[in-house]
Structure 1
Amino acid sequence: MEDSLPWQQNVSLPNTWGIDLYNQIQDRFYRIFIYKPDTVPPPEGYPVIYVLDANSVFGTFVDAMRVQMRKPEKTGVYPAIIVGIGYHTDQPFSPYRVYDFTRPISKEDLPPHPAGLEWPSHGGAESFITFIKEKVKPEIERHLPVNIDKQTLFGHSLGGLFVLQTLFSEPDTFHTYIAGSPSIHWDTQFFRSEKEAFTHKVKQSERQIKILVGVGELEKLHFSGMNKNAAEISEELNQLHQYGIHIQFREFTEESHVSVLLPLINRAIKLGSI
């Protein structure tokens, strides 16, 4: 009898599975990663955390949730469904993300590419949020016990930009918005032009909206002014506190643009599960 089983065995995370959803507007299938807690759902259903760039962070989200939800009285993390929106690739990131997370902008106004390359196609954010609203969310709500009043959107970098743009353009889509290292420099004009309309929407709404904007301390060195831009937009949002906007800004010590994901995910599962 051999001492070990064959090496080539797949490893999977407990209580997770994937489905493919077709985006008719973009003529493309997306890989949707799903985690459902193994606990009895509350009467109102589980909170749901929707995660962009799922190929890179879904596993981290799931493990953080599985470990911390066991002792919510100590961790502040309660069982929640995690829905990762990703792509058909084994790489952490897909070039399609640039198109999905950005709004149209002229070539002259594009920021420099960090690697000095040409930017891939961009400008598809409006169709992407439509896909999330009309295809992804209804699919999840049809098949899982979901609390429709506790919905979170998480994104990082260009995904963080998408989170904030969704907040400004369609604030009623989610209840909690978490933007990590948001690439505000990509399209500062959008926030200037939408600020007045967003303020009007917020004043007319009775919804309470939670927002977390997080950056790494070491991102201060980035040419984009990442930390400054994030702090400024957080301060502007904080001025709407009396209208139900609850904003947190966090600069994580000794973290960089990528390493900031780990402490940010810990904050995200806490904020998105309560």
Structure 2
Amino acid sequence: MPAPHPAQGSTRRALLAAGAGTSLGLLGGCATGSPAVPAQLLQAPAAALPGTHQQDLRDPASGNTWRIWVQRPAGPAPATGHPVLYVLDGNAAFALAAQLARNDAARPPELRPDAAIVVGIGHPGDAVIHPAERQRDYTPPPPGGSATPQAGGADRLLDFIARELQPRVAQAFPVDAQRQTITGHSFGGLCVLHALFTRPALFTRYAATSPSVWWNQGQVLQTAQQFMQAHATAPRAFSARLHLRVGSLEHAQAAATPARAVVQAERRLLDRTTTLANQLTTLAWPELHVQMAVLPGLDHGSVMLPGLVDALALAQQAR
């Protein structure tokens, strides 16, 4: 898909500031200058995304609490049930994914995909990113080791999804068991890959955007090798689709600063992810379909949104 050109930071900030000033001026009846925000605007009810619900759920097994968002499907259930998209980093990504699903539901009937359920998984609080909790929940445990309060808790999160969250969603809606998708970006993408390589039947579709394959000296790449060896011969008790997305600027030569170039050279995210995709594609397993895309002109942060667009499309694909 064509990638948007990221705006220059200073220009974008100036445009946003100008737009905000104009809007508030119109609302408050102010013509010029820097208008104060009208008191009645601040006292208005908080905005809400239609059709969504939010709840903090405590996992009885681990004791961790995750914030869960669910958007009801904006359309009738297909004969096989609704596809479900589970979105990691829900604080940052759920509203985006939910609105994309709402947009799909407003398309003409002949262009409208099956109505999807969007489930966000995040952390309590209003911060967009929770760095400590992300590292705790999205990184796999070290080989032969176990999770600590700081890292390695991916299996705890995946257990929570399997034992608590998926059954709740299936109880609330008619779901399509063959269209269960999980998506994540960066550390979230790392968790997606760990899920595929350690429990490939938990979901049927996996969308990893800029996955942190460098974590712990490339541990997930070693897990991938173990996965390939464990399932080298048929039959394989899973059927999965994997979408990998990486920005073309995620390598050292494209870094904006020398410091960032050092980080990107150490992580080699673009090269490592491409190599992983090639290895998995070469297997030619009928039970595993791999699709890799390098999105032009995008870096690690800006690739998240188009990754979500593609993840939703993956979730809605026909069986």
* TM band (smaller chain): 0.7 to 0.9
TM normalised by structure 1 equals 0.87
Tell me, yes or no, if the aligned pair for 1:72 and 1:78 is still in contact at 8 Å.
Answer: no
Q: For 1:251, what is the secondary structure of its paired residue? A: strand
Q: Name the residue aligned to 1:259.
A: 302
Residue pair 1:100, 1:128 contacting (<8 A) in 2 also: yes
Residue of 43, 56, 66 corresponding to 2:79? 43
Deviates more, 1:150-159 or 1:122-131: 122-131
Q: Distance in 1 between matches of 2:210 and 2:268?
A: 11
1:212 pairs, out of 205, 226, 243, with 243
Deviation of the 1:79 alpha carbon: 1.4
* Residue 156 to residue 55, structure 1, CA distance change in 2 (3 Å): same
Moved more, 68-77 or 179-188: 68-77
> Percent of pairs identical after alignment?
29
Compared with structure 1, are the counterparts of its residues 66 and 190 closer, same or farther at alpha carbon in structure 2 (3 Å cutoff)? closer
Measured against aligned partners, the alpha-carbon deviations of 1:233-265 in whole angstroms (never above 9, x if no partner) come to 111110222332111111111111111111111
Cα distance between partner residues in 2 of 1:206 and 1:104: 24
Quote the offset at 1:84 in angstroms: 0.4
Q: Could you tell me the TM-score, scaled by structure 2's length? A: 0.76
Equivalent position SS for 1:155? strand
Per-residue CA shift, 1:217-243, capped at 9, x if unaligned? 111122310100110111111022233
After superposition, the C-alpha distances for 1:141-164 in whole angstroms (9 at most, x for unaligned) are 111121111100101101101100
8 Å contact kept, 2:100–2:309: yes
Q: Which runs of 5+ in 2 are unaligned?
A: 1-27, 30-37, 253-263
SS in 2 for 1:92: coil
In 2, the alpha carbon distance for the partners of 1:252 and 1:74 equals: 28
**Structure 1 runs not aligned, ≥5 long:** 107-118
Distance in 1 (alpha carbons) for counterparts of 2:219 and 2:99:
38
Residue number among 252, 255, 272 corresponding to 1:229 in the alignment:
272
- Summarize the Cα distance change of 1:75–1:159 in structure 2 as closer, same or farther, 3 Å threshold: farther
CA drift at 1:73: 7.0
Deviation, structure 1 residue 42 = 1.4
* Worse overlay, 248-257 or 68-77: 68-77
CA distance in structure 2 between the aligned counterparts of 1:17 and 1:6, rounded to whole angstroms: 26
Task: Name the larger-Rg structure.
Answer: 2
C-alpha displacement of 1:216: 0.9
The 8 Å contact of residues 49 and 153 in structure 1, kept in 2 or not, is answered as yes
Change (3 A) 1:193 1:249: closer
CA-CA distance at 1:272 after TM superposition: 0.7
Paired residue for 1:154, among 169, 183, 187?
Answer: 183
Amino acid at match of 1:41: A
Secondary structure (helix, strand or coil) at the match of 2:114 reads coil
- Larger deviation, residues 32-41 vs 173-182: 32-41
SS at match of 2:152: coil
> Structure 1 CA distance, aligned partners of 2:114 and 2:39?
36
**Residue number in structure 1 paired with 2:8:** none
Q: How many residues align?
A: 261
Give the aligned partner of residue 250 of structure 1. Answer: 293
> Is the partner of 2:251 in helix, strand or coil?
helix
